[in-house]
Amino acid sequence: MSKPRKAFTLIELLVVIAIIGILATISVLAFSSARAKTRDAKRIGDAKQTKTALEMFFNDQNRFPTEAEFNSGSLVIDGKAYMVNLPTAPNPPDGICDNSTNQFVYDVNSAGTTFTLSYCLGALPAL
């Protein structure tokens, strides 16, 4: 009389493989969502820092920087640094952002009294 072998049946193996596949899919989706939210949080944080630097500039200069000054990549006027390196949007673009919208766009009126700072959020609703 032979001893009974202890082994998994084909059905048991398929069930285990299916469970592992489901868990892997859930993990990948959760990671993608977390990464998109992190990139958007970075965009929002960078925009807030830029806004603060622009307001400090206005308090000292009685105007907001021109678009050329902003597009130079830093806000340093007369030796005073308001923001040495202006932030850039995270790359590669994600979510609804693409290469043309994944950037900070600064616009100032001709008098230098108001500005808009536009940027794309890939996953979160706009604030």
Q: What is the pLDDT of residue 6?
A: 80
Q: What is the pLDDT of residue 24?
A: 95
| pLDDT averaged over 10-residue windows placed end to end, the chain, 127 residues | 77 95 92 84 93 95 94 90 90 83 92 93 64
Burial level of 82, CB count in 10 A (0-12/13-18/19+)? buried
Q: Domain boundaries in the chain?
A: 12-118
Q: What is the pLDDT of residue 109?
A: 95
pTM over 0.85: no
Q: What is the pLDDT of residue 97?
A: 85
